[in-house]
Structures are given as C-alpha cells and as structure tokens.
C-alpha cells in the first residue's frame, strides 16, 4: 500500500511540475517591453471647429424653436479640439498603423516617438468599416518597425502585453492574457475581436497588442463602457488587420468582396423547420438585384453553410470571410435549400 502511495505521489508531483512548466508565468516583461517601446508611438490630432456665440443677453431653453432660429445670428468663433491615441511602426520609413477613429476628421496629425521626438504625419489610407488607418511619418529618419504575428494561433489564456498612450501618459505597458476570441460587440459587421484583460484605457486606441514573441497579434480598439479599464478590452486580430493595412498602403482604400445578400441568424426554430442538424450558417433574407448572389441563383430562404471551403457556424462569420476574399474570385458556396445541401458558384463583386 505504501509503495503504491509513493508511486502515486511521485507521479502527481511530476504531473504538477510539467503543468507548472507548461504554464510558467514570465518572470518579467522588462526585456520584451524595452525591445518594443521604440516601435510604439503616441498620436495627437487637432481639428478646427467653428461655432457661433450667442450675442443675446439671455439663453433659450433647450429644445426651444428660437434656439435654432437665432443661432445663425451669432458671431463665428473658431477653436481647436484635440484628441489622442496610439499606433505602431511597421516600416523603417515610418509607416504607422492606428485606428481610424483616432485621426478621423483631423486637420493636423502629430506622431511622438518613444524618444520624445514629434513628427508631422499624413494619412496614407483609412478604412472606417474596420476602424483602421495607415499614416506616414514625414521624416527621412529610419525607424524601428515591428511585425504582425498570426492571430489565429493565439490561444485563450496566452500572455499578451499592450503598449500605448492611455490618458496621455505615453509609453505605458500593461500585461494580461487573452480572455476570449471571436467576440462581437456591435461596432461593425466585420468585427471578430480578441478580448483581453490587459489594462486598456482611452488613448490606447490604435496601439498594439503583442504576444510573447514581440509580434503584433491585435490592434487595441475598444473598451467595455466609458469609465475606463475594467479588465475587458477588445483588439482587432492581426490577420484581419494586416490584409486591410496592405490594401490601404497599395490603393489608399480597401477592396472587399461582396455577395449582395441580407442575412439573418439561424436559430433552433429555423433549423428544426428546415430539417438542419443544428442551428448554423447564415439565413438569406433578401438578395440584391443584379448582385453576384442573384447571378449565381441564390434565393431568399437559402441557408449558406460554407463559403470558399470555410464553414459558417455563426451568421456574423460570413461578412468577415466574404470581405477578406479577393474581388473577382470564383468561389464555391454550399447552401441548404429544400432540406438538402446544394452547391453554387459565385464570382465575388466589390
């Protein structure tokens, strides 16, 4: 009995030791942070806003019809509004990736490096649908870039660090783990966010989320609520962002694939009624006349189960997959119609 107990204890200790080693907590993030900080920038913008002052010695109550009537009689006043965000350098010539909302509508854009040097920057291209922008630092200086990593290989529980400009504090490093993947929070139709508990606050927008190899696996974009970090932040996965960034650099805009359908979620009632094994796919609610789907014979009531070899388990996966497919490509689409699976070929539009 004692022999068996000893064997069990030794086996347990070996198993526990292996588990600890496999999940070892980094002793420090200092070396990694020191290596990456020169590639992360603070972004400042200014925007001119013209408003009219009230020349009358009284105020109209909110909602009063006289408020709009007399607004044009005020004296024009111009003021500058400022905003801040973060970004990261992806090319030694000074190409910077950030969020579109950080620089949208800005008259002037400034980039401040970790060394404290401020440069003017111009817009190379923007994509409001995925909230991404590419800037060019106006300088002949060579910069230290970082590389995109493979966000598909990132796992829930992996360590990550975020670097950015929260609350205009600049050069701030926070650490955490990947809390979840494939999150949708209702910001846009292409969202597929990485959720992290690394502290993210206002001003972190556009900054990088790094894995432990120093690769960018996400672009910090949103926080839960408006009061600041509560351990729930969201980042655009690098695999989705990189394709958009490449197109912005090449064309100054994004060229997305287009099916021309309005889709709905397939719930249990619909799946049961259509004799589908489980709720999956995207239900076609309507088809635009003359669209690629219309030309291919897709009809209202069809359920799209697979697109170009990729399974559609949830409705919101389809817009993202279609958007990432090259315009003009001929793709095979599996649909569920009349309680059986059929195939259609679609040439993607833009």
* Active-site residue, selected from the candidate residues 39, 101, 197, 229: 101
58: left (phi over 0), alpha (psi -120 to 50) or beta: beta
Distance CA 309, CA 229 (A): 39
Is 131 an annotated catalytic residue?
yes
Q: CB atoms < 10 A from the CB of 68, how many?
A: 10
Q: Is 333 exposed, middle or buried (0-12, 13-18, 19+ CB in 10 A)?
A: buried
294-327 burial, b at 16+ Cβ within 10 Å, e below that, comes to: bebebeeebbbbbbbeeebeebbbbbbbbbbbee
User: Exactly one of 179, 199, 205, 293 is catalytic; which is it?
Assistant: 205
Give the Cβ contact number of residue 252 at 10 Å: 12
Phi-psi region of 38 (alpha: psi -120 to 50; beta: other; left: phi over 0): alpha
Cβ neighbours of residue 170 closer than 8 Å, sequence gap 6 or more? 42, 112
Give, in degrees to the nearest 5, the angle at Cα 202 between 198 and 208.
Answer: 50
Are the beta carbons of 39 and 214 closer than 8 angstroms?
no
The answer to whether the CB of 218 falls within 8 A of the CB of 238 is yes
Beta bridge partners of 234: 195, 222
Distance CA 108, CA 121 (A): 8
**In a 3-state reduction of DSSP, which class is residue 7?**
helix
Catalytic residue among 39, 86, 127, 131: 131
Q: How far is CA 240 from the centre of its chain?
A: 8
Q: Give me the active site residues, please.
A: 101, 131, 205
């Amino acid at each position: 009995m004692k022999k068996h107990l000893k064997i069990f204890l030794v086996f347990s200790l070996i198993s526990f030791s292996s588990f600890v080693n496999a999940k070892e907590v980094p002793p420090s993030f200092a070396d990694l942070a020191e290596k990456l900080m020169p590639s992360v920038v603070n972004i400042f913008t200014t925007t001119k806003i013209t408003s009219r002052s009230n020349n009358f010695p009284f105020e109209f109550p909110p909602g009063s019809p006289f408020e709009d009537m007399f607004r044009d009689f005020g004296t024009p006043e111009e003021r500058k509004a400022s905003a801040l965000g973060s970004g990261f350098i992806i090319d030694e010539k000074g190409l910077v990736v950030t969020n579109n909302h950080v620089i949208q509508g800005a008259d002037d854009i400034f980039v401040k490096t970790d060394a404290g040097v401020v440069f003017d920057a111009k817009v190379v291209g923007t994509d409001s649908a995925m909230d991404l922008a590419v800037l060019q630092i106006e300088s002949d200086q060579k910069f230290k870039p970082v590389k995109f990593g493979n966000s598909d290989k990132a796992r829930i529980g992996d360590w990550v660090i975020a670097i950015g400009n929260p609350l205009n504090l600049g050069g701030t490093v926070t650490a955490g783990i990947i809390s979840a993947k494939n999150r949708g929070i209702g910001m846009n139709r292409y969202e597929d966010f990485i959720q992290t508990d690394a502290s993210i606050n206002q001003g972190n927008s556009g900054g990088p989320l790094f894995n432990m190899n120093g690769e960018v696996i996400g672009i910090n974009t949103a926080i839960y609520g408006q009061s600041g970090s509560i351990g729930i932040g969201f980042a655009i996965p690098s695999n989705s962002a990189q394709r958009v960034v490449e197109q912005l650099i090449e064309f100054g805009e994004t060229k997305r694939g287009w099916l021309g359908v309005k889709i709905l979620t397939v719930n249990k009632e619909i799946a049961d009624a259509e004799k589908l094994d489980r709720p999956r796919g995207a239900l076609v609610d309507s088809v635009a006349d003359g669209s690629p789907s219309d030309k291919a014979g897709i009809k209202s009531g069809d359920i799209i189960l697979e697109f170009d070899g990729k399974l559609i388990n949830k409705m919101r996966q389809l817009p993202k997959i279609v958007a990432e497919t090259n315009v003009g490509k001929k793709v095979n689409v599996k649909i569920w119609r009349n309680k059986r699976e059929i195939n259609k070929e679609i040439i993607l539009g833009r």
